[in-house]
Structure 1
């Protein structure tokens, strides 16, 4: 092949590709395929995407922080047992034998190192070994005396009949809505007589201690001995498309600590009351309390319908549904045994007859004929006026060194 013929072929190919890029349009062809495997994959993927859209994408809520100001920050405490050590003063006394044997129990003074603190004890060793009772000797300490003894606390009966009035407010600032757990429809008589019950009176803000422990599925006698922690949950779930009166709290309870702990179980703390005796000496009353700590946990969410968010999420959801088609087409054209047949059925290339005219050559010498396209698809007309069948001319017509190729329609 002559160099000029090779250049002509490259030029023709570039023109064809340029024309294809500019003037071709692809449109999807729908082919219905009955296949249990592919159909099942398609529907399962669709169901997963729809479940995701309904369960997550379309749920747009506004969460607001809550502040509940009880005397104890976010909680309240009810004492059930007490250990009282009264009228303590700064002096020396035997260490409590129940604190532990190592470093506490002794027989002679040399076993009590002076100025050494007692492990888990109540003071500093003086260096003396003294009688704690008729059968036990312990190291003497300097501190608040008499030392607190680790003995069985006194049970406080009647605490289970106490009631608590819970008051708190919630604000959904984005929507300008404020609510409180004491509804505007109640009166003083109702508050005086009502008691919360999840079935018969779920909106009453007055709670009995025994009822709270029962709703948390705990034994009040067992929890009263060593104490415990109970979560007091208040949940607001409001659809503000409806009347705001339907935005009401829901209460639930559960124990937060592990009642099966082997050591340091329950909940307790110490508190001291300081005073002076008539001689002016400082004294204190030490109180160790066991009880139930109720911890508030307030959660809320509210929402309104938004046409803008709905449209955005709907559009993104419909786009995600296209993933199912992509997965199925990948299976069809890569994993099926008859993928060649499927590809042939899927893609069909059509063309506009008016867009495929034969090429016109503008000759650079009289020896080269000018070929002009006519509307008949199987004929070409030479410049001498004679028409010939294009099929018979195929392979016999030799074009030489065209300087220019262009479209020419008649």
Structure 2
């Protein structure tokens, strides 16, 4: 019973002016609104389906070769084994685009890289055994020449120490934008025992060897040019390649399993994940260090230290599948019927107590009738 109907009965008991309830047009509007909302939930949002979230696995493969020619290394070919680190990752792949190399390091004594904590003039400026967060080694307590104009504290470290104060520009492997990434993705919806992969049944070996993903011409090709991935995310590859970054390759599997399996296909999208903000310039991009070790003929050990800058591609898979089921169908039908029952009460409360024109609506909704108009004392009906 609506709120106003309860009040009407209460007032009638105490011989006050009678209230005759007249059906409001607003109730009809609300009912029609409820009907539209129910249709939207039940049909457009597929309230008649049971749903399940995707279970996924991803493997990747990068291809591409480039040539560099520098005074330090001379002419050198770089292939997948050089710039993909590590060779396989879990739902991710890192491609090195820039590098700082420190060749032929061996353990010994050498001057530390100059900074506010390591520049010295006399021996007493250096503390034996001192190590800071950014030290290349352990101070010996000696002050030695770093070059013809600067002295620094001597350290026990891998020598010569790395100098990463200047990042190569343009990027060392700027041709990496032409490298390609093959993404193989298998998905499974457990509730429906439905599985599929992003290399669709319509794709053959000939097509796979020649296609490159394009949102318009080749939307289902699983091979992506790295430069196009970054460009699709609204970024500049050559700028990103200098200091590195993190990109997301998103695969969306939204499947209506009431239709044929051929309609369940992947949709690809791309975005940059690391924060590129001109107001936050501390430690930008993405980099890490690793080394390659060698044993010399005299038995001593040496290494090449590599500070690698690059782009990490994270493959993120998400999706939902739905299929008709009796239980959610009955639940949503019951919820819809309950919604219609609440419509009248909600309409009364909102229209008569919350809206600016509540007095106008109250006048239209109710008619006040005096007792003499009803014929007080008259008997209606037939006494048995």
In the alignment, structure 2 segments of 5+ residues that lack a partner are 1-19, 61-87, 371-381
Is this contact kept in 1: 2:295–2:302, CA < 8 A?
yes
CA 137–198 in structure 1, closer or farther in 2 if over 3 Å, else same: same
TM-score for both structures, normalised by structure 1: 0.70
Give the one of 102, 112, 115 matched to 2:129: 115
In the alignment, structure 1 segments of 5+ residues that lack a partner are 1-28, 345-375, 379-410
Following TM superposition, by how much is the alpha carbon of 1:323 offset from its aligned partner in structure 2, in angstroms?
1.8
Is this contact kept in 2: 1:332–1:339, CA < 8 A?
no
C-alpha separation in 2, matches of 1:30 and 1:304: 46
CA 287–34 in structure 1, closer or farther in 2 if over 3 Å, else same: closer
* 2:294 alignment counterpart: 275
Ranked by relative contact order (alpha carbons within 8 Å, sequence separation 6 or more), the top structure is 2
C-alpha separation in 1, matches of 2:140 and 2:224: 52
Q: Which has the larger radius of gyration?
A: 1
Following TM superposition, by how much is the alpha carbon of 1:306 offset from its aligned partner in structure 2, in angstroms?
1.9
Give the one of 122, 140, 148 matched to 1:126: 140
Give the one of 261, 264, 267 matched to 1:244: 261
SS for the counterpart of 1:196 is coil
Following TM superposition, by how much is the alpha carbon of 1:214 offset from its aligned partner in structure 2, in angstroms?
1.1
More displaced, 141-150 or 40-49?
40-49
* 1:284 alignment counterpart: 303
Measured against aligned partners, the alpha-carbon deviations of 1:247-289 in whole angstroms (never above 9, x if no partner) come to: 1111111111122231110011111112211111122111111
Is this contact kept in 1: 2:59–2:184, CA < 8 A?
no
Is this contact kept in 2: 1:333–1:339, CA < 8 A?
no
TM-score for both structures, normalised by structure 2: 0.74
Give the one of 189, 213, 216 matched to 1:199: 216
Q: Does 1:67 align with 2:84?
A: no
Following TM superposition, by how much is the alpha carbon of 1:330 offset from its aligned partner in structure 2, in angstroms?
4.3
Count of paired positions: 315
Is this contact kept in 1: 2:34–2:339, CA < 8 A?
no
Give the one of 316, 322, 341 matched to 2:335: 316
CA 143–45 in structure 1, closer or farther in 2 if over 3 Å, else same: same
The within-5 A match list for 1:369-408 is 377=383
CA 297–342 in structure 1, closer or farther in 2 if over 3 Å, else same: farther
Give the one of 290, 294, 298 matched to 2:313: 294
Is this contact kept in 1: 2:23–2:365, CA < 8 A?
no
